[in-house]
Amino acid sequence: MSGVRVLELGTPPAPVEIEGGGAFEVLAVALNPLDLAVCTGRYFGGHPPVPYLPGAEAIGLLDGERSYLFGEGFGTVRDGFLVERVDFPPESAVPVPADLDDARAAACGIAGLAGWVPIAHKARVEPRDRVLVLAATGMVGSVAVQAARLLGAERVVAAGRDPERLERARELGADETVRLAGDGLAARFREACGGEGPTVVVDPLWGEPARAAVQAAAPGARIVQVGQSAGPEASLASADIRGRQLVILGHTNFRLSHDERSRAYAELADHVASGHIRIDVETFPLERIGEAWATQQQGTKAVVVVRPGP
């Protein structure tokens, strides 16, 4: 059967023929920064023995039913999902809505949940909230912007580096945008949020942007930390945290229980299927894994379609 393998750390995976099989037929695999980090050896959790099959999430088919597959170490400590068939515990699979296509169903997983859960379940955004989304030009941030708008936030601010993608964030519901460049970032965050600062911050970046967001935050603000794309450390002043009585919450999809993941995935997938939340993806067949990998490296969500639909 067909699959792809990482033959050497730091190099993109290549198509190969693989012996074996499994109960689940793999339909689509969404690529993520996680997969890139594992492949380069930069993921804090290590990597599977090389060579290995990458891919940490997939849509699979078993007995005519589609499911979202994630966890069990797939793609991080053992072979992943970029192959035609896999053995995966059926009890760990999550049902997929019938009216959602395979590519967007896959993309609702790692990146989608990292945008949805911080807004809907960690910060519990309400209509009185002013929400600042850092890295709103990526998929996690894009989902967070739309989730905040869907839940009725008073104001939604998208921050990022790419002007074109910031404009897309505005189209998807942001009231204001902030470029992550230049001086006075905290003041610009505060002004964009109406002068009083954000009451909720979703932060996939850490580093200097997180520091500026803390300085800009309103008293009692909730800051949900979901990544470290701008750096693994941030210098935060004690007075900023204590003086404003800020709440900093961490989030990783790996710490969600099966029930939590199932509930959150069903919520997000239903919103995507109904058009309330839009997910932009580019799809590639398995044999074009190199192009898919490069697309994901450039910041555009790439989904590998292992078995094309009817």
What own/partner pairs with CB < 8 Å and gap ≥ 24 does 256-264 have?
Answer: 256/113, 256/117, 258/91, 258/92, 258/94, 260/121, 261/70, 261/71, 261/94, 261/113, 262/94, 262/95, 264/113, 264/116, 264/117, 264/120, 264/121
Peptide bond into 51 cis (omega under 30): yes
**pLDDT greater than 60 at residue 192:** yes
Which position has the higher pLDDT, 230 or 159?
159
Question: Is 210:233 a contact under the CB 8 Å cutoff?
Answer: no
Measured CA to CA, the distance from residue 275 to residue 151 in angstroms comes to 15
Residue 88: predicted pLDDT? 97
User: Where along the chain do its domains lie?
Assistant: 2-108+279-305, 113-253
Asked if pLDDT for residue 310 goes beyond 60, the answer is no
Domain 113-253, what architecture?
Answer: Alpha-Beta Complex (3.90)
309 confidence band (pLDDT: 50, 70, 90): low
Could you read off the pLDDT of 55-111 as tens digits, one per residue? 999 999 999 999 999 999 999 999 999 999 999 999 999 999 999 999 999 999 999
- Give the pLDDT of residue 20: 82
Between vectors from CA 52 to CA 46 and to CA 58, what angle results, nearest 5°?
90
65-70 and 57-62 as β-strands: parallel, antiparallel, unpaired? antiparallel
Which superfamily does CATH assign the domain made up of 2-108+279-305 to? Answer: Medium-chain alcohol dehydrogenases, catalytic domain (3.90.180.10)
CB 102 within 8 A of CB 76: no
Domains 2-108+279-305 and 113-253 share a fold: yes
pLDDT digits (tens, 9 = 90+) for 111-155: 999 999 999 999 999 999 999 999 999 999 999 999 999 999 999
pLDDT by residue (tens digit) across 177-191? 999 999 999 999 999
pTM of the entire structure? 0.95
